[in-house]
């Protein structure tokens, strides 16, 4: 389990958040999870671009000053720890009761550092076991794709998951596959890379974007397209992504088996060269 190492609230070391925080009451904010590996925070620019885009969608601004403060804190928090998980949160300021934001409310920034998790090398080499969640994702286009702080769906998905699975994969009410509980989902059919759209539900991870960028740059054919059961049943390869793990091949989803390492998954992982969080 990841332990909290240090937290900064608006640049000041703090172990607690004021009880009036709109993060507590409404989940009124956005976040990103970054990896510092061997002293280097990975993909800062890409993560900040997504953080900014998400913030704007809920009406928060990440202006130049806030951005530079946040960058400084991300680079310096828990500095003695070479490998750490960093969580950046932007939260709408103002602490009164009521959903209506205060006029001209500021944006609060929380930066947290955690010990990094460690996984068996087999997660990358032999693939993981995933299971279909009993919990169905809802449908809310206005908030879909945003990495916001309303994450009860993910909590509920993990609550209902068996402990044997390495990841739980989620469908929407139309029984289309959308994403993993803490990851995005890709499948490969006839050599073509496919990932579900995130316009009605789900979270658009930065690693998903990096995989798509990598595919485009290296001439992989790819599509963003709905993935019903009937499509997934034809997949030769399945993998999940997030900014901590990079790419994990899925070797089993319920009773369906996939070839690991698949050629497309393997090439993408090779090009991405994301570091492994493993003890071995």
* Distance in angstroms between the alpha carbons of the first and the last residue of the chain: 18
Round to whole Å and give the CA distance between 209 and 213.
Answer: 6
Helix (H) / strand (E) containing 206: helix 206-217
CB closer to a second copy out of 168 and 264:
168
Using the rule CB under 8 A, give the single segment among 16-24, 44-52, 189-197, 203-211 that binds a second copy.
Answer: 16-24
What's the min distance (Å) between Cβ of 190 and a second copy? 33
Q: Indicate which single residue of 132, 147, 182, 206 sits in contact with a second copy (rule: CB under 8 A).
A: 182
Round to whole Å and give the CA distance between 38 and 158.
Answer: 30
Q: Indicate which single residue of 10, 24, 197, 259 sits in contact with a second copy (rule: CB under 8 A).
A: 24
Rounded to a whole number of angstroms, the CA Rg of the chain reads 19
49 burial type by CB count under 10 A (0-12 exposed, 13-18 middle, 19+ buried): middle
CA distances from 186 to 32, 84, 145, 173, 255 (A): 20, 26, 16, 19, 18
CB-CB contact of 137 with 13 (8 Å): no
CB closer to a second copy out of 197 and 266:
197
What's the min distance (Å) between Cβ of 259 and a second copy? 29
By CB under 8 A, residue 153 contacts a second copy: yes
By CB under 8 A, residue 158 contacts a second copy: yes
CA distances from 97 to 19, 20, 21, 102 (A): 11, 8, 10, 10
How many other β-carbons are positioned within 10 Å of the β-carbon of residue 54?
Answer: 23
Interface with a second copy (CB under 8 A), residue total: 64
By CB under 8 A, residue 28 contacts a second copy: yes
CB closer to a second copy out of 84 and 194:
84
- The site string for a second copy over 114-133 (x = CB under 8 A, - otherwise) reads x-------------------
Round to whole Å and give the CA distance between 84 and 40.
Answer: 10
Chain positions 81 to 110 lying near a second copy, rule: CB under 8 A, are 85, 87, 89, 92, 95-102, 110
Round to whole Å and give the CA distance between 104 and 113.
Answer: 29
Using the rule CB under 8 A, give the single segment among 46-54, 145-153, 225-233, 262-270 that binds a second copy.
Answer: 145-153
Q: Indicate which single residue of 143, 192, 231, 272 sits in contact with a second copy (rule: CB under 8 A).
A: 143
**DSSP character for 15?**
S
By CB under 8 A, residue 77 contacts a second copy: no
Both tokens assigned to 252: 């089993």
Q: Which residues contact a second copy by CB under 8 A?
A: 1-4, 7, 9, 14-28, 31, 58-59, 85, 87, 89, 92, 95-102, 110, 112, 114, 135-143, 148-159, 161, 173, 181-182
């Amino acid at each position: 389990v990841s332990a909290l190492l240090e937290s900064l609230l608006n640049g000041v070391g703090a172990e607690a958040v004021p009880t009036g925080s709109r993060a507590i009451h409404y989940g009124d904010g956005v976040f990103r999870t970054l990896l510092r590996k061997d002293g280097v925070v990975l993909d800062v620019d890409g993560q900040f671009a997504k953080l900014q885009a998400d913030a704007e969608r809920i009406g928060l601004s990440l202006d130049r000053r806030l951005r530079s403060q946040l960058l400084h804190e991300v680079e310096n928090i828990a500095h003695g720890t070479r490998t750490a998980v960093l969580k950046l949160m932007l939260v709408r300021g103002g602490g009164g009761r009521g959903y209506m934001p205060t006029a001209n409310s500021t944006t609060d920034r929380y930066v947290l550092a955690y010990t990094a998790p460690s996984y068996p090398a087999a997660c990358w080499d032999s693939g993981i076991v995933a299971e279909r969640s009993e919990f169905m994702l809802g449908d809310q286009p206005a908030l879909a794709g945003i990495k916001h702080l309303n994450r009860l769906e993910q909590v509920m998905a993990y609550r209902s998951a068996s402990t044997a699975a390495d990841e739980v994969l989620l469908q929407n009410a139309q029984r289309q596959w959308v994403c993993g509980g803490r990851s995005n989902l890709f499948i490969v059919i006839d050599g073509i890379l496919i990932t579900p759209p995130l316009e009605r539900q789900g979270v658009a991870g930065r690693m998903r974007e990096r995989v798509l960028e990598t595919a485009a740059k290296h001439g992989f054919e790819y599509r963003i397209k709905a993935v019903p059961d009937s499509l997934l049943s034809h997949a030769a390869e399945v993998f999940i992504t997030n900014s901590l793990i990079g790419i994990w091949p899925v070797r089993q989803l319920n009773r369906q088996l996939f070839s690991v390492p698949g050629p497309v998954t393997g090439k993408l992982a090779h090009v991405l060269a994301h570091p492994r969080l493993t003890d071995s």
